[in-house]
């Protein structure tokens, strides 16, 4: 299917209403998406202010950055983006609870909104500002989110209620704050891109049915970790680098933004493989990237666009989660290239 550009402006709201009429989405889930994407617009405004808004640099006190649950220094914008998403979702009535990269534990909505907002049917997970080490140098960052159903009868969900495999996701998306602000969304019926029209303040459908080419000659990895990689990754990348005269029979180009949203946006647009493999530095933690609010939503978006996503050994969406902040190795993008990476894992163990 060739991506098809609509000729007249077609808003996210209209898209969601038509998906509801087609029976693809319930009204309360549609409204939840509206709330989350409205928060993303707000984050886009904060990110866009840059140095003028006093929002760059580390959170915490001068010389002592605050540290999140991952043991990473928080940027001011990490904290702002997290607050914006929490505040926007506190009173909507669509959520039973939410969980964030920036918070140790999930929060039941009843604790966020003790004045009696009703608990809804869904669980929201997000990385409020992915790639935030790039903020201070004006490189694209983004918000990643995933929506699960709250288990039947649970009104005050705890962390364990979020531990559902990625196949259970109802919605996955990201918003990338770069030269323009783009929302990429799936509700399980294709992956679609919406560009923020800053003049009217609304997301407009710009690509319906994104398709990732099956073949690619572009890979994304942090090459500085090469000496720490395990044998399958060593063998795979050695063959990519060998080029036309090597076993893969073609030349490969490499790109690494170090913002997952930007790297994934590139491959959704023109193909490629994105990888963050196990290495000696992150092996004890299980990987670098987080399953529940980074790997799983990206895996759903990529699969819905005809690509593939794997840990190297298992389809990403079928991993049984064991923790809210669990980490996994990640390979996702052009189908044939992800399958090649998986083959190296089978053959070089």
Q: In terms of C-beta distances under 8 Å and separation of at least 24 residues, what long-range contacts does 16-21 make, across chains too?
A: 19/187, 19/189
> Among 132, 181, 216, 334, which residue sits at the site for ligand AHM (rule: CB under 6 A)?
132
As measured in angstroms, the least distance from the Cβ of 260 to Mg ion is 6
Q: Which of 92, 97, 120, 131 binds ligand AHM (CB under 6 A)?
A: 131
Contacted by 158, from Mg ion, ligand AHM, none: CB < 5 to 8 Å by type: none
Site for ligand AHM in 93-112 (CB under 6 A): 101
Smallest gap from residue 258 Cβ to ligand AHM (A): 4
Instruction: Tell whether residue 259 is among the known ligand binding residues.
Output: no
Q: How many CB atoms lie within 10 A of CB 216?
A: 23
What are the strands, taking DSSP E only, across the chain? 60-61, 64-65, 95-100, 107-108, 122-130, 141-149, 171-177, 181-186, 191-197, 202-207, 218-220, 253-254, 273-276, 289-290, 308-310, 327-328, 330-333
* Smallest gap from residue 117 Cβ to ligand AHM (A): 29
**131 annotated as belonging to a binding site for a ligand:** yes
Strands 141-149 and 122-130: antiparallel
What three-state secondary structure class fits 231? helix
Tell me: does residue 130 bind Mg ion (CB under 5 A): yes
Q: Which does 132 bind (CB under 5 to 8 A by kind): ligand AHM, Mg ion, none?
A: ligand AHM
Structure tokens, 41: 């617009």
Q: Which of 259, 275, 311, 334 binds ligand AHM (CB under 6 A)?
A: 259
Kindly indicate which of the ranges 16-24, 123-131, 180-188, 189-197 contains the residues binding ligand AHM, using the contact rule CB under 6 A.
123-131
Please tell me whether residue 72 binds ligand AHM under the rule CB under 6 A: yes
Under a CB-based contact definition with an 8 Å cutoff, are residues 274 and 331 in contact? yes
Q: Of 158 and 258, which has the nearer Cβ to ligand AHM?
A: 258
Alpha carbon 336 to chain centroid distance?
Answer: 22
Judging by beta carbons within 10 Å of its beta carbon (0-12, 13-18, 19+), is residue 245 exposed, middle or buried?
Answer: exposed
Distance CA 298, CA 282 (A): 20
Residue 102 binds to Mg ion (criterion: CB under 5 A): no
Binding residue per annotation — 77?
Answer: no
Which residues does the annotation place in the binding site for Mg(2+)? 101, 127, 129-130, 294
**Which residues contact ligand AHM (rule: CB under 6 A)?**
72, 101, 127, 130-132, 222, 258-260, 276
């Amino acid at each position: 299917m060739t991506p098809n550009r609509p000729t007249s402006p077609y808003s996210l709201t209209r898209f969601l209403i038509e998906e509801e009429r087609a029976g693809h989405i319930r009204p309360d889930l549609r409204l939840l998406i509206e709330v989350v994407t409205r928060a993303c617009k707000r984050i886009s405004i904060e990110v866009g202010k840059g140095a003028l808004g006093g929002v760059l640099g580390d959170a915490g006190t001068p010389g002592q950055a605050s540290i999140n649950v991952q043991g990473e220094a928080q940027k001011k914008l990490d904290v702002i983006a997290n607050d914006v998403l929490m505040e926007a979702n506190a009173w909507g009535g669509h959520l039973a609870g939410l969980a964030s990269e920036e918070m140790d534990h999930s929060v039941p909505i009843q604790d966020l909104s003790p004045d009696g907002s009703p608990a809804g049917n869904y669980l929201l997970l997000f990385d409020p500002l992915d790639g935030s080490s790039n903020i201070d140098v004006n490189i694209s960052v983004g918000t990643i989110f995933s929506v699960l159903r709250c288990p039947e009868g649970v009104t005050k969900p705890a962390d364990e209620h979020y531990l559902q495999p990625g196949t259970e996701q109802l919605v996955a998306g990201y918003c990338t704050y770069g030269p323009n602000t783009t929302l990429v969304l799936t509700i399980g019926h294709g992956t679609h891109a919406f560009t923020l029209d800053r003049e009217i303040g609304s997301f407009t459908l710009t690509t319906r049915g994104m398709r990732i080419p099956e073949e690619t000659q572009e890979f994304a990895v942090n090459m500085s970790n090469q000496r720490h990689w395990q044998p399958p990754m060593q063998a795979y990348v050695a063959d990519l680098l060998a080029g036309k005269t090597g076993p893969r029979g073609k030349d490969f180009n490499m790109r690494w933004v170090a913002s997952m949203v930007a790297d994934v946006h590139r491959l959704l647009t023109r193909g490629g493989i994105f990888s963050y493999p196990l290495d000696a530095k992150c092996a004890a933690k299980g990987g670098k990237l987080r399953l529940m609010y980074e790997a799983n939503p990206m895996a759903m978006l990529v699969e819905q666009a005809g690509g593939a996503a794997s840990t190297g050994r298992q389809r990403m969406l079928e991993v049984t989660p064991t923790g809210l902040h669990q980490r996994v190795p990640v390979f996702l993008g052009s189908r044939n290239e992800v399958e090649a990476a998986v083959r190296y894992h089978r053959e070089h163990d």
